[in-house]
Amino acid sequence: MSKFQILLEDYQKASARLEEVLREVKNDIVRDSAIQRFEITFELAWKTAEAYLEEYQKVRCASPRSCFRELFNQGVIKYDDYWLKLADWRNATAHMYEESVADELYAELPKALEKFKELDQNLKENYE
C-alpha cells in the first residue's frame, strides 16, 4: 500500500469516528470529544491530500491551506473558502479556552463532516 492509501484509510476511520460522536446527545464531554475528533480528522485530511498530490499529481504542498488550494487547482475539489475556514478553526482549537468558542465550533462540525466526506469521495474517484 502506498502512503496515500494508508492515510486515506486512517482518514476514513477518523471521519467515521467524528460522525459517530456527532450522533450523541450534546453535553460538554461530547462537545469536547467531537472537537478533538475534528482536529484529528482535519490533520488527516490535509496529510492525505498532501500524499495524494505528491504521489498522483507530482505536486508538493507544505501546509493545509496550500494543499487545499492545490486540490482546487487540480480539480479534485471545487473551490470553497470553507476549507480555509476549517484550517482557521483547526488553528483556533489549540487556543480554545472559552466555552462560547467551543460551542460555535461544535455547531459547525456537521458541515465540516460533509466536507470531509466530499474530500474522501473525490480523492477515491481521482486515484482509482
pLDDT of residue 96: 66
18 vs 37: CA distance, rounded Å: 5
Residue 3 pLDDT greater than 90, yes or no: yes
In sequence order, the 6+-apart residues with CB closer than 8 A to the CB of 120 are 8, 11, 12, 15
Residue 82 pLDDT greater than 80, yes or no: yes
| pTM of the complete model | 0.94
pLDDT digits (tens, 9 = 90+) for 91-103: 888 766 788 888 9
- Residue 118's pLDDT band, with cuts at 50, 70 and 90, is very high
* Least confident range of 39-48, 82-91, 109-118: 82-91
In the chain, where are the structural domains located?
Answer: 3-127
pLDDT of residue 94: 72
The arithmetic mean of pLDDT across residues 74-85, rounded, is: 92
C-alpha cell at 106: 461544535
In sequence order, the 6+-apart residues with CB closer than 8 A to the CB of 18 are 34, 37, 38, 40, 41, 109, 113, 116
Residue 76 pLDDT greater than 90, yes or no: yes
Share in percent of the chain as helix, strand, coil (round to 5): 80, 0, 20
CATH superfamily of 3-127: Nucleotidyltransferases  domain 2 (1.20.120.330)
Residue 128 pLDDT greater than 80, yes or no: no
pLDDT digits (tens, 9 = 90+) for 19-75: 999 999 999 999 999 999 999 999 999 999 999 999 999 999 999 999 999 999 999
